[in-house]
């Protein structure tokens, strides 16, 4: 004997207990609330014509993740055979998709209630106190679901920003429910078991089923077979195949019959039929539907293999998804309340129930948040950077939806204010709230609108050390070396070019070196007086003087800046000095900073300071040696007291300043996007400039105290041009000198430049250098007789013709020594006159 046809899991479990005692196979098409392994252990003779509910849980979680909902409410009908294992699986699966179950609504069995509507209403009203508006009906009978949806619609849970997801226990029956049921779930999403309805086998079965159904229920409009009818047909097919395979003699063996049923392997009307652990082994394909009017429309398909897909294809006789995706398209979904976008899935504020926003009532720095009471009207006035920023955010959000809100001041500490959001007393916080790791576990922060960290502010002292060597600091060491190198090179080039033609650059070596050095150094101050003869030298000097002009101007400006800008040094260098001396420090007593100083920085001597104006008083009086401020406050403080206090030591970074919302609130994501928009369009900078403007006593509070030295990187181009110009002029001059020397004729030239054809290159070069060191020949040459040569001490070989070079110095000696050699002087004079 075989039993089949149960419609609820409670009926299935009851019959399965009987089948277990009598060892009778039981076939059920109802999805179990247990895992297949647990079902087999508890009811070994139960055969499930359904797949594991794990696939449906994964599908549900994928829908939640696709629309980025972070909190859901699970609703299911209780019965005596319910098990919490599947709910635990759903919890873990949702957590893997970044969502969580905020609340579980358990509906009692309606058969045990005298007034089911009142009981359901009382339970549904509890949902109004929850934030989530995403409802998952995991398991319910049609009658219980009818009461649920009707009451939910009446109290507004079927309105805008709500989303309902129906499991297959209800979605598979949408074809058979009445219009009143459908009208109460407008916009809901359903998960239906998909089956192929275009095959010839199905069409034949459909015709026979409709004919038989209409004969029994002529008043029913819907006569198409549903998934339960198909599974019932496949169950009978599996039984028939098992009986036929056993034969008439063994068909009464229930154990063997169950084994043959579980070994079935065929394609039925509902899909492929084969079993593992007493349930269908083939993973199902679900059709996602959307209730719209008196019917529903398909949105696509989901399978554990391919995810979401709009259409299905065939591969090796198996249905597969085309263009699978992890997200669903929402453009064709009709949402509850005729909403044109994806619902927030959250209890959005309304005019009757606005967003309650906590605002810090007492702050140390009132430029961020300030709460005042107007005496005439006794109304509160909220102002500050954070308030103006939030108002700009609301302007952006109202382009998509309205956001009614009310500010409420909170006069406690900042940690206590955050706790108020965790407890649900406030929906959000608008203020200078620091993002901390511990806080992110319990509240949802927006995108930071300001950096955050802890810094130490101390009084300044003027640094007078190093003033004696201040003249050296406008240039870096490399800059001084490069300047000296270019100066020396220019000096040598000028001397070499001017030496032959300019008498001011001749004389003894030390005189020539001194003249060249004096000329080059005096040119630094444009005080040189030596006359320049060569055009090459003039070109070199034009570039050099331009370089000198640029260098002296830059040096003067840099030195002036260093001498006029005060060099401020912190009176306390670092945290080690604070710890070593156990000096008193100050901080905001209403923030987390005090605990951070004690627990992390290990400071014990801490004084609470409640107002921004108290910090200068405490620091000037010496009651505290340093103040620990968060970076935004430190910037504001130094902008107002830029010449009196400086930042010292390292910064201890935090997550930034942001607004805080209840955990998983979708408003936090929208506000974050709005803050990014304000950042990109410059509004955030304009608000900062408005609220945190520089004090009149500060030219630039954020600038460095010291002027940087000038580096070689800023002037290497000028050095290159100067050096290249000097080198090119030197080469042209040498070339000109070489050509001029070749134009000299006769033995005189040969003895100077070409004394011998076998002389080396260096010998010839030395000759040109010696020529450049001497004047042009001023004395004429003549033949000397042997007698006159003997009188002058000349070798007798002088009788042969020979030319001699007379240098300017030798000529001077000859003329100066005319008293010793009068005859030679007379002859030289005669030669000159000739």
165 beta partners: 136, 189
- What's the whole-number average pLDDT of the chain? 79
The pLDDT value recorded for residue 789 is 38
**Each residue's pLDDT tens digit, 419-441:** 999 998 999 999 999 999 899 99
**Each residue's pLDDT tens digit, 178-193:** 888 999 999 999 999 9
Scan for tokens 């001194």, then name that residue: 514
CA distances to 284, 599, 746, 753 from 780, rounded to whole Å, are: 123, 101, 13, 19
Number of neighbouring beta carbons within 10 Å of residue 702: 10
Output phi, psi for 454, to 5 deg.
-110, 130
Q: Distance between CA 644 and CA 570 in Å, rounded?
A: 10
Q: 223: helix, coil or strand? A: coil
Which residues, other chains included, contact 405 with Cβ-Cβ below 8 Å and sequence gap of 6+?
A: 349, 354, 355, 356, 357, 394
- 480: pLDDT strictly greater than 70: yes
Q: 245: helix, coil or strand? A: helix
CA distances to 354, 470, 537, 587, 650 from 707, rounded to whole Å, are: 55, 12, 37, 32, 22
Lookup: tokens for 704: 């460095």
- 59: pLDDT strictly greater than 70: yes
| CB contact at 8 A, 164 and 137 | yes
| CB contact at 8 A, 585 and 597 | yes
- 813: pLDDT strictly greater than 70: no
- 289: pLDDT strictly greater than 90: yes
Counting Cα atoms < 13 Å in the Cβ hemisphere of 799 gives: 5
Q: Alpha carbon 782 to chain centroid distance?
A: 93
The pLDDT value recorded for residue 659 is 96
Report the pLDDT averaged over residues 689-708. 61
Q: Distance between CA 331 and CA 341 in Å, rounded?
A: 8
Split at pLDDT 50, 70, 90, the class of 696 is: low
Split at pLDDT 50, 70, 90, the class of 564 is: low
Q: 3-class secondary structure for 340-373?
A: CCCCCCECCCCCCCCEEEEEECCCCCCCCCEEEE
Q: What is the secondary structure of 570-584 as a DSSP string?
A: ESS--HHHHHHHT--
**Each residue's pLDDT tens digit, 236-246:** 898 888 888 87
Number of neighbouring beta carbons within 10 Å of residue 599: 10
Split at pLDDT 50, 70, 90, the class of 368 is: very high
Q: 297: helix, coil or strand? A: strand
Between 184-193, 297-306, 407-416, 819-828, the lowest mean confidence (pLDDT) is in: 819-828
Lookup: tokens for 755: 């004394």
- 3: pLDDT strictly greater than 60: yes
| CB contact at 8 A, 321 and 309 | yes
Which residues, other chains included, contact 805 with Cβ-Cβ below 8 Å and sequence gap of 6+?
A: 748, 751, 752, 777
For β-strands 606-609 and 585-588, DSSP reports them as parallel
Looking at mean pLDDT, say which of 233-247, 377-391, 457-471, 718-732 comes out highest. 377-391
Split at pLDDT 50, 70, 90, the class of 817 is: very low
Q: Distance between CA 34 and CA 14 in Å, rounded?
A: 14
**Each residue's pLDDT tens digit, 622-634:** 888 888 888 888 8
Looking at mean pLDDT, say which of 13-27, 159-173, 533-547 comes out highest. 159-173
Share of the chain above pLDDT 90, in %: 22
């Amino acid at each position: 004997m075989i039993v089949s046809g149960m419609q609820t899991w409670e009926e299935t479990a009851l019959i399965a207990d009987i089948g277990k005692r009598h060892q009778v196979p039981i076939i059920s098409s109802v999805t179990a609330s247990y895992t297949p392994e647990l079902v087999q252990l508890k009811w070994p003779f139960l055969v499930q014509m359904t797949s594991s509910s794990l696939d449906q849980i994964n599908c549900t979680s994928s829908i939640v993740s696709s629309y980025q909902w972070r909190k859901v409410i699970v609703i299911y009908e209780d019965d005596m055979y319910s098990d919490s294992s599947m709910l635990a699986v759903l919890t873990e699966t949702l957590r893997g998709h970044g969502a969580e179950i905020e609340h579980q609504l358990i509906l009692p069995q309606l058969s045990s209630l005298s007034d089911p509507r009142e009981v359901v209403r009382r339970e549904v009203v509890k949902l109004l106190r929850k934030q989530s508006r995403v409802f998952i009906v995991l398991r319910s009978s049609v009658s219980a679901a009818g009461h649920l949806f009707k009451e939910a619609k009446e109290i507004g849970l079927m309105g805008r920003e709500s989303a309902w997801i129906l499991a297959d226990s209800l979605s598979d029956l949408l074809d058979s429910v009445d219009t009143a049921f459908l009208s109460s779930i407008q916009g809901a999403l359903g998960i239906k078991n998909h089956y192929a309805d275009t095959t010839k086998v199905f069409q034949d079965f459909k015709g026979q089923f409709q004919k038989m159904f209409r004969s029994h229920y002529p008043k029913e409009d819907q006569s198409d077979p549903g998934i339960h009818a198909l599974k019932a047909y496949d169950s009978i097919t599996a039984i028939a195949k098992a009986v036929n395979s056993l034969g008439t003699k063994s068909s009464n063996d229930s154990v063997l019959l169950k084994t043959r049923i579980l070994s079935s392997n065929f394609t039925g009307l509902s899909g492929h039929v084969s079993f593992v652990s007493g349930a269908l082994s083939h993973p199902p394909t679900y059709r996602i539907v959307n209730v719209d009017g008196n019917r529903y429309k398909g949105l696509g398909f989901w399978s554990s293999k391919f995810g979401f897909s709009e259409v299905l294809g065939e591969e090796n006789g198996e249905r597969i998804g085309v263009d699978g995706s992890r997200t669903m398209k929402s453009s064709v979904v009709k949402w509850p309340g005729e909403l044109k976008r994806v619902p927030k899935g959250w209890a959005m504020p309304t005019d009757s129930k606005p967003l309650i926003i906590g605002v810090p009532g007492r702050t140390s720095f009132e430029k961020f948040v300030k709460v005042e009471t107007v005496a005439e009207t006794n109304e509160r006035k909220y102002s500050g950077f954070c308030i103006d920023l939030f108002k700009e955010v609301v302007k952006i959000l109202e382009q998509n939806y309205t956001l009614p809100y009310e500010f409420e001041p909170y006069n406690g500490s900042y940690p206590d204010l955050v706790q108020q959001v965790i407890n649900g007393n406030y929906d959000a916080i608008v203020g200078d709230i620091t993002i901390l790791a511990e806080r992110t576990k319990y509240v949802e922060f927006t995108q930071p609108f300001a950096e955050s960290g802890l810094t130490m502010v101390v009084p300044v002292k003027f640094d007078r050390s190093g003033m004696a060597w201040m003249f050296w600091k406008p240039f870096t060491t490399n800059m001084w070396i490069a300047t000296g190198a270019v100066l020396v090179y220019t000096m040598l080039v000028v001397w070499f070019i001017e030496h032959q033609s300019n008498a001011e650059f001749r004389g003894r070596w030390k005189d020539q070196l001194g003249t060249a050095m004096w000329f080059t150094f005096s040119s630094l101050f444009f005080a040189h007086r030596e006359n320049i003869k060569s055009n090459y030298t003039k070109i070199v000097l034009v570039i050099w003087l331009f370089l000198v002009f640029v260098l002296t101007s830059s040096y003067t400006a840099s030195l002036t800046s260093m001498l006029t800008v005060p060099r401020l040094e912190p009176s306390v260098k670092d945290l080690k000095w604070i710890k070593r001396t156990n000096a008193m420090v100050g901080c905001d007593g209403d923030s987390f900073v005090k605990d951070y100083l004690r627990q992390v920085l290990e400071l014990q001597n801490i004084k609470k300071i409640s107002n921004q104006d108290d910090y200068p008083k405490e620091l000037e009086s010496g009651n505290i040696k340093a103040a620990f401020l968060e970076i935004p406050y430190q910037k504001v403080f130094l902008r107002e007291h830029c010449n009196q206090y400086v930042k010292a030591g390292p910064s201890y970074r935090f997550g930034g300043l942001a607004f805080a919302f209840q955990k998983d609130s979708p408003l936090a994501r929208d506000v974050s996007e709005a803050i990014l928009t304000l950042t990109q369009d410059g509004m955030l900078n304009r608000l900062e400039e408005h609220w945190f403007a520089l004090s009149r006593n500060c030219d630039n509070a954020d600038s460095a105290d010291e002027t940087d030295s000038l580096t070689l990187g800023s002037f290497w181009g000028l050095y290159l041009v100067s050096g290249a110009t000097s080198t090119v002029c030197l080469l042209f001059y040498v070339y000109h000198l070489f050509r001029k020397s070749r134009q000299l004729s006769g033995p005189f030239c040969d003895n100077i430049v070409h004394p011998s054809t076998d002389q080396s290159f260096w010998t010839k070069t030395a000759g040109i250098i010696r020529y450049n060191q001497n004047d042009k020949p001023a004395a004429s040459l003549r033949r000397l007789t042997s007698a006159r040569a003997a009188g002058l001490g000349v070798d007798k070989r002088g009788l042969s013709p020979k030319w001699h070079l007379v240098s300017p110095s030798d000529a001077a000696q000859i003329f100066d020594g005319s008293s010793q050699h009068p005859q030679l002087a007379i002859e030289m004079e005669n030669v000159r006159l000739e």
